[in-house]
A and B are shown apart, each in its own frame.
Chain A
């Protein structure tokens, strides 16, 4: 690993100052992704600013019934929080379906939001990757792309965002609070991650000196009946081929409220707004669920390796909504 300086700031203000004054600096939370990337030479910060110990590790009630989650709350702690489990079951399930117990004990909420893709060509310095080395090309386009994106892709990049937690946060309209020397900003999670377009190396709507300090969850009554369904190649410790975060309210056979987001299909957690629009007001039937899924997936661009994801996403959406219709949260 390339040598680097290590800074441990006393408070948030010192942390953002430290990064603002050192262009090659990066924040480190749990380090479960950054350290791997540094070992591989993908990330080469000159300075690492350790956030450990800063008072950003609490989950607080908001006056409107929502929750404010500190950026340093460990993934395992958030998943176990009784308020999260009761009000936003999809979020707890999403976190618990990711990584391993050991990694979840280290990983922070802020770090999880800023995970980088697991595209194997991104990780291999010998491969062409526009995200790692802009302009070098994309070996995934005609290589192994079974795990790659089908929505919002470009000719420059078909990588996916790997997080499970973010898919639930996108469905729940969570908002990220960001701090820098220039002040405080609020960014909806759904807008935090960028689609690749012509600049797949620019992944976040975030400047390098901005520190995520908290995630706010608004009250989402429909989320009490929600679930996260992750489909993958083995029962644990694998990234999603497709995942679905869904919440559903059904009255008299009709859908009165719905939330839907997809993971494993795009460079960002994919909020399925078109599907939501079609679902609400329609019957809670397999046909209706299928139509909504088809509408959301109509724009899919597939490769030979990942063409199955469209059918898999459709099947998983329908199955998850079916389960929620029957009130079952049988993850």
Chain B
């Protein structure tokens, strides 16, 4: 991979540059059609009815008033809906079995498993009629006792089980004894609240049946999963299901699984024989799509007088739904960040009668780094040591829990560059010493960390006789520039101008792309794209090498350079167009990508040998109002080690976006779940406080740009790393400004009064 990377870099006119997004013009002109914007003749509209109890059975259904609304076509409940197949059992051999948001077989059961579960679907001629009629469906319940209060259930958590992808804990040495013996220690208990997904595009599905052929327009992060899951639930072969998802209006993990809205749109279309569109209300997203688990965490650190860690303990409790959801890697960063000789990590879980939790930008690490990096900062205060210096003194040579090699580790460089850009040396270390009028000014740092993942992917590349290159893969373009990055890579590796490259994506008829998750889409697709391009060059060369009049005749492929739209050795060579035309071919095509078993074997081998991750240093300046405790972030610098950067423009936007989302996590976001009813109380964008523009300062991001030798093209992934560490950097800056350590997110002003 090193060679390959070097090859591209040396003559890379596109990779590493700021390139405009290929999908930009379609989006700003409105030409881009999202899942809810596809017109169909005879299109009907669906709306969900949500349960109003946390657990129980439906004892009576009254749809008379709903059916009487003009324009209503059908009201589907468990009494009359056609049955879907139940959700499949989890199988490690078939990743699409992980696609179920919950295990509930909607409308095939009278059981209610959480407050907000869809229990009926109204189909009508207009969305207005469907929603109004949905409000008139009357359901009677027999309630059962439900467990919905995380704080009350938390003491009864049970240890999480290990699986091949996630370790639920780790032990090295005797951390408890080392902590007890440590001359300096901190032992802190943190809490973080639940968060809900709030992409600008609410989940939307347009479903069209033609016999047993199903077409679904759906904003998703995993086209292959949607296809396979729908085929399984509706009992048709996967090849009869086509999923179209060229534009996704934000996802962040919320469109990874298949949630009720998707299934019920397809079910409603099946039941009514009409194309059906279902757009979740904003409230519906809160009620039917999982979000980030709340957590309680303990971090205890023991150190010697010089600040060298002797003990690191990090334990956590998270929740899943009783009907779905999974654990998060909350203690993950504590496996990798500090050279402590004694380490104890343990993740625990409770199951509650709430909507299943799901992945949300850097699941685990985003809240885990809040606890770990806050505790490190507190230890620096205990020691009277600069918090960056404390981290440098504990920077490990190998992975702390097991001694594995780091594939790439540049935290020292990230901190050095960040400190310079931020002006860290201007910081007066005394708490409350820095002021700006009525504002107390504070500066804090924290480490960002996110594992680098690769996912199975296939990519096809087609070269046509007119010199056009078409990259084909069911990539997911959620706004981050995924397709643009692949076009840059294709242009460089085939030596053609970007204008000659077209990327076809977002369609299940294409070679299956990687899921957009784990920050791994670009690297995963790049690996297959590079392999496919190589195959393609071989095929092109095979056409030329024996052609009597080709300047490439008798040459060797490994001596040729792909440039100027063709293959060249020095000044000798010719264009792809010339080669294809001479050979009478209108196009050549190659596809590459690992099989599932080969991929899994390589991944496990890789994980035995290496620890791979993106990381970074977050620098935050806050202003805290001396009278009211209001916290405003006034400055941010983030320096990241994300390996190779393909597109400096979109990477900067992604890194900034993660930091903005982290500011919400730090200061304002919290989904309020009523402990009596399990109902989300603030299910709106007015009351669920994501950051607004006025909350976001100028954010300076930079990266080290050094490729990771073990990853395709040297890419470590940029989607998630920048949200990690943000919560702690803010909390640490608040600690510096006020002398107060806030252990409970979000850091609202009442906690500082």
| A interface residue numbers (CB < 8 A to B) | 1-3, 41, 118, 120-121, 123-127, 139, 142-144, 146, 231-238, 241, 308, 311-312, 315-316, 318-319, 330
Q: Is the CB–CB distance between A1 and B128 below 8 Å?
A: yes
Sample (29) of A-B pairs whose CB atoms are under 8 Å apart: A1-B128, A1-B132, A118-B686, A118-B687, A124-B679, A124-B681, A126-B52, A139-B674, A144-B681, A146-B750, A231-B628, A231-B749, A232-B630, A233-B668, A233-B689, A233-B748, A234-B668, A234-B694, A235-B632, A235-B695, A236-B694, A236-B695, A238-B689, A241-B750, A312-B628, A312-B629, A315-B753, A316-B627, A316-B628
Quick one: given A143-B674, A231-B749, are A319 and B438 in contact (CB under 8 Å)? Answer: yes
Quick one: given A143-B674, A234-B692, A235-B694, are A319 and B627 in contact (CB under 8 Å)? Answer: yes
- A2–B632 Cα distance when bound, in Å, is 42
Which residues of B lie under 8 Å from residue A123 when comparing CB positions?
A: 684
Which residues of B lie under 8 Å from residue A127 when comparing CB positions?
A: 677, 679
Q: Does B215 contact A (CB under 8 A)?
A: no
Quick one: given A124-B679, A126-B52, are A234 and B695 in contact (CB under 8 Å)? Answer: yes
Q: Is the CB–CB distance between B628 and A315 below 8 Å?
A: yes
| B interface residue numbers (CB < 8 A to A) | 52, 115, 128, 131-132, 135, 437-438, 627-630, 632, 667-668, 672, 674, 676-677, 679, 681-682, 684, 686-687, 689, 691-695, 748-750, 753
Smallest beta-carbon distance B132→chain A, Å: 6
DSSP class of A's interface residues: helix, strand, loop or mixed? loop
Smallest beta-carbon distance B492→chain A, Å: 43
**Inter-chain pairs besides A231-B628, A235-B695, 20 sampled, C-beta below 8 Å:** A3-B132, A118-B687, A121-B681, A124-B679, A126-B52, A127-B677, A144-B672, A144-B682, A146-B750, A235-B694, A236-B692, A236-B694, A236-B695, A311-B753, A312-B628, A312-B629, A312-B749, A312-B750, A318-B627, A319-B438
Smallest beta-carbon distance A316→chain B, Å: 6
Smallest beta-carbon distance B743→chain A, Å: 17
In this complex, what residue of A is CB-closest to B115? A126
Q: Is the CB–CB distance between B681 and A237 below 8 Å?
A: no
In this complex, what residue of A is CB-closest to B693? A236
Which residues of A lie under 8 Å from residue B748 when comparing CB positions?
A: 233
Which residues of B lie under 8 Å from residue A233 when comparing CB positions?
A: 668, 689, 748-749
In this complex, what residue of A is CB-closest to B685? A237
- A139–B676 Cα distance when bound, in Å, is 10
DSSP class of B's interface residues: helix, strand, loop or mixed? loop
- A123–B679 Cα distance when bound, in Å, is 13
In this complex, what residue of B is CB-closest to A305? B750
Smallest beta-carbon distance B633→chain A, Å: 10
Which residues of B lie under 8 Å from residue A143 when comparing CB positions?
A: 674, 676, 681
Q: Is the CB–CB distance between B668 and A312 below 8 Å?
A: no
Of the candidates A127, A235, A315, the one having the most CB atoms from chain B within 10 angstroms of its own CB is A235
Which residues of A lie under 8 Å from residue B132 when comparing CB positions?
A: 1-3
In this complex, what residue of B is CB-closest to A3? B132
Quick one: given A144-B672, A231-B628, A319-B628, are A312 and B681 in contact (CB under 8 Å)? Answer: no
Which residues of B lie under 8 Å from residue A41 when comparing CB positions?
A: 135
- A143–B676 Cα distance when bound, in Å, is 8
Which residues of A lie under 8 Å from residue B692 when comparing CB positions?
A: 234-237
- A231–B692 Cα distance when bound, in Å, is 15
- A233–B630 Cα distance when bound, in Å, is 8
In this complex, what residue of B is CB-closest to A1? B132
Which residues of A lie under 8 Å from residue B135 when comparing CB positions?
A: 41, 125
Which residues of A lie under 8 Å from residue B674 when comparing CB positions?
A: 139, 143-144
Q: Is the CB–CB distance between A312 and B694 below 8 Å?
A: no
Which residues of B lie under 8 Å from residue A311 when comparing CB positions?
A: 753
Q: Is the CB–CB distance between A1 and B694 below 8 Å?
A: no
Q: Is the CB–CB distance between B750 and A308 below 8 Å?
A: yes
Smallest beta-carbon distance B51→chain A, Å: 9
Smallest beta-carbon distance B125→chain A, Å: 14
Smallest beta-carbon distance A232→chain B, Å: 8
Q: Is the CB–CB distance between A312 and B632 below 8 Å?
A: no
Q: Is the CB–CB distance between A234 and B681 below 8 Å?
A: no
Which residues of B lie under 8 Å from residue A319 when comparing CB positions?
A: 438, 627-628
- A312–B752 Cα distance when bound, in Å, is 10
- A127–B677 Cα distance when bound, in Å, is 9
Smallest beta-carbon distance A313→chain B, Å: 10
Smallest beta-carbon distance B692→chain A, Å: 5
- A125–B437 Cα distance when bound, in Å, is 46
Quick one: given A234-B668, A235-B692, A315-B627, are A120 and B750 in contact (CB under 8 Å)? Answer: no
